[in-house]
Amino acid sequence: MPRDSNSDPTENNVIKPFGRITNASLPNIIREFNLENDSVLRPSILKNLNFLGFSLFRHRMLAKDQLRLVQRNGVPELAGHSGHFQRRIKIWFLLKPWTWFRVLRDDSSTVGIYSIAEIIEKGHIGYGDRHLVTVNATDYAKVMVDGEALLLEEGAYVIKTSNFSYMGKVAQSTPRIKHGDLLRIIPPPKTVAVYKIGSVQHVYPDTEAVSSSTKETIGKINQNGILEIRHPNAEFITFLDTNLINKNYPTEKAQFTYYTKDSVQVGVKLFVAYQIIDPKLAIEKLGPTGIDKHIEHVTHVDMARAGQETSLQGIQSSSDLNIDATAGTLESSNDTPPAYHQIYLSTWQESVKKQLEKDLKEYGILLVRLNIEEINILNKDVENEMGKQAVEVAKANADLAAIQMQREVALQKAHSDTAVARLNAQQHAESNLILAENNKKVAELDKETTRINAEAQAQALQLLGDQLAANSSLLQYELNKGACKAIAETQIHSLFFGDGKNSPLFINNQMGILPTKEASNSLTNT
């Protein structure tokens, strides 16, 4: 049966905890260490015993941070800088004659003198049934107290029992600590711990198990997420990585060998990426050390099955192909359409991937990626023949690539010329459009100017008419002014009878139409 992990040895005063050991805490530690000791129950202490001026039991004084561990007849005691004698010797009574005999036969010796720093470094000092254990902030002290395995945290501890052993220190950050029947586990990030109690395997973290009724049988989880198991048959097995794992198969420096449908032997190297999504299921079915071997074995079997459905023509070359089985796409290194054998190879790979996904899912494993990394033809004669064919194919591909490049250069030049012509035409059209818009705006401005002038003239005439209608004298003035202006601008020419005899008017003058010179002078005077 597992030991109760909640038992506390301090309840029966076997272990007395203190804080960090300092100069101020030393007197309390010494007092607790010496409590219930034989020399304390019946004290009779000599610091110095002088006989004829000779000191038989004189010891040097201690520094403030020092302790002296002594034993007298097998009884351990601590002494400090002050308030405690450097040597404690039980004397019944000095005047009794057997007192000197008892002093001389007492077995008293110093076990050691230690400073606080030395005690912390050693972790433990003690003698008989008295012990002082000190632990720093980053470690645990592994001790056995009355048969119980304990991990002591930071501080000083006075332990009073003869059934005690100090097992040393261990860092608190250690993922796994095994001490007696105590198993303490802190799984690193993205891992689960695999352990067993008896013949039953468990994993941690395991939400289902922790919340079940069997929680106490698999351990106790503290507030920091640390699993502590007290069971004599508790055994840690391993930490299982749940990150994405990348593997090349076969794992050794070899190749998987297969026979194709046309009986050609080929060697294959594979790249597989997987993730354990159900650690408990994987452990139950495969065990902690059988997962990788199982994946390699299943991959080998599925590749062999699919290889027997593939011909040599389908796998003759894959050096220029990068196949992404996750996305299900083909990507060629020279961006050319995949050849027939490449498509065939992709079909082979996809067939393996689908079957392998199904096989691994039954064991709580997710297949993330599968790539056929390398294919080699193991028959040298066939390989040489295919090498010649590959050279011819490569030459044809090179010629085709050169023609394709020339075509692309010509096409690019044509596109460039077309683009330049289109740009020039567009700029010319835009210039004509701007000119037409400017002419249209000028015509509109001229039209608007004519309209404004006409309106102004009309308004001026209207204003003049209104003023003349209102003032009759002004109207008469304007009429006279206009008549005078007309007379002033009139030109009168005198025409005499003798002038222009050849004129048609001369013939008409025979009828007396034209005036005579005297008449004209008279008219001019008038």
- The CATH number linked to 268 is 3.30.479.30
The pLDDT score that the predictor gives to residue 326 is 42
The pLDDT score that the predictor gives to residue 384 is 54
Instruction: Give the number of domains in the chain.
Output: 3
The pLDDT score that the predictor gives to residue 268 is 82
Taking the CB of residue 227, how many other CB atoms lie within 10 A of it?
21
Residue 489 in domain: no
Give the angle subtended at the CA of 512 by the CAs of 510 and 515, to the nearest 5°: 120
Domain boundary pick from 241, 270, 286: 241
Of 340, 341, 324, 320, give the one whose Cα is nearest residue 332: 320
Q: Are 192 and 202 in contact (CB under 8 A)?
A: no
The pLDDT score that the predictor gives to residue 173 is 92
Helix H or strand E segment including 458: helix 380-470
Q: Is 371 left (phi over 0), alpha (psi -120 to 50) or beta?
A: beta
Give the residue carrying structure tokens 């818009």: 437
Do 273 and 253 lie in one domain? The reply is yes
Cβ contacts of residue 102 below 8 Å, gap of 6+? Answer: 90, 91, 92
Taking the CB of residue 432, how many other CB atoms lie within 10 A of it?
9
The pLDDT score that the predictor gives to residue 106 is 53
Helix H or strand E segment including 228: strand 227-230
Residue 495 in domain: no
Show the DSSP H helices in 199-254 as ranges.
Answer: 207-210, 215-218
Residue 455 in domain: no
Do 263 and 199 lie in one domain? The reply is no
Helix H or strand E segment including 138: none
Report the DSSP beta bridge partners of residue 125. Answer: 132
Do 26 and 152 lie in one domain? The reply is yes
Do 229 and 301 lie in one domain? The reply is no
Give dist(CA 207, CA 279) in Å, integer: 12
Give the largest CA-CA distance in the chain: 210
Structure tokens at 510: 């025979």
Task: Read off the pLDDT of residues 151-198 as tens digits, 9 standing for 90 and up.
Answer: 999 999 999 999 999 999 999 999 999 999 999 999 999 999 999 898
The pLDDT score that the predictor gives to residue 62 is 73
The pLDDT score that the predictor gives to residue 37 is 65
Domain boundary pick from 197, 215, 241: 241
Domain boundary pick from 161, 187, 203: 161
Q: Are 340 and 316 in contact (CB under 8 A)?
A: no
Structure tokens at 160: 């009073």
What pTM value is reported for the model? Answer: 0.56
Task: Read off the pLDDT of residues 408-434 as tens digits, 9 standing for 90 and up.
Answer: 887 887 788 787 787 877 777 777 788
Do 363 and 296 lie in one domain? The reply is yes
Amino acid at 448: E
Q: Are 193 and 176 in contact (CB under 8 A)?
A: yes
Residue 427 in domain: no
- Listed as ranges, residues in the chain with pLDDT below 70 are 1-12, 37-61, 82-108, 207-218, 253-254, 262, 310-345, 378-399, 474-475, 488-526
Do 229 and 250 lie in one domain? The reply is no
Do 31 and 100 lie in one domain? The reply is yes
Cβ contacts of residue 308 below 8 Å, gap of 6+? Answer: 258, 259, 260, 261
Q: Quick one: 443 exposed, middle or buried, by C-beta within 10 A (0-12, 13-18, 19+)?
A: exposed
Residue 286 in domain: yes
Give dist(CA 348, CA 310) in Å, integer: 7
Give dist(CA 67, CA 111) in Å, integer: 11
The pLDDT score that the predictor gives to residue 131 is 95
Do 94 and 189 lie in one domain? The reply is no
Of 301, 298, 293, 297, give the one whose Cα is nearest residue 258: 301
Do 2 and 148 lie in one domain? The reply is yes
Give dist(CA 56, CA 500) in Å, integer: 188
Give dist(CA 358, CA 309) in Å, integer: 19
Q: Is 335 left (phi over 0), alpha (psi -120 to 50) or beta?
A: left
Report the DSSP beta bridge partners of residue 370. Answer: 272
Do 71 and 98 lie in one domain? The reply is yes
Do 298 and 331 lie in one domain? The reply is yes
Give dist(CA 285, CA 364) in Å, integer: 9
Range of the domain at 303: 245-378
Residue 477 in domain: no
Helix H or strand E segment including 76: strand 75-79
Do 90 and 190 lie in one domain? The reply is no
The pLDDT score that the predictor gives to residue 307 is 73
